Amino acid sequence: MTFDCQACGACCYGPEAYVAVTTTDLCRMSPTVQGRYVRPTGDGRRYLKMVHGHCAALHARQGHFSCRMYAMRPQPCHEVEAGSRECLDARRRRGIDAE
């Protein structure tokens, strides 16, 4: 079974504190990307900004999904691979069948 991430985007949906951003992740990000997509919290932690239940970097158009910061995405985003347990869990939460 194959999964096309650009036809899904399910792993980009979640709660406010969904994708943690570490200091190492910040080193890969430009200041513009940090300012646009990273949200610091009062306790020193950082997360990707969420908008309407999905990552602010998710670009969704007519059933096509892409990441506006793909080359600089944080480590948790690297860990979700097409067809992995994390992928299948995200698809299930979004009501997308694993066909």
pLDDT tens for 12-25 read: 999 999 999 999 99
Q: Is 99 within a domain? A: no
Domain count, the chain: 1
Q: What is the pLDDT of residue 98?
A: 57
The rounded Cα 35 to chain-centroid distance in angstroms is 16
Q: Is 98 within a domain? A: no
Return the sign of the alpha-carbon dihedral for residues 68, 73, 76, 81: positive
Q: Is 21 within a domain? A: yes
Tell me the residue range of the domain where 25 lies: 5-93
Q: pTM of the full predicted structure?
A: 0.86
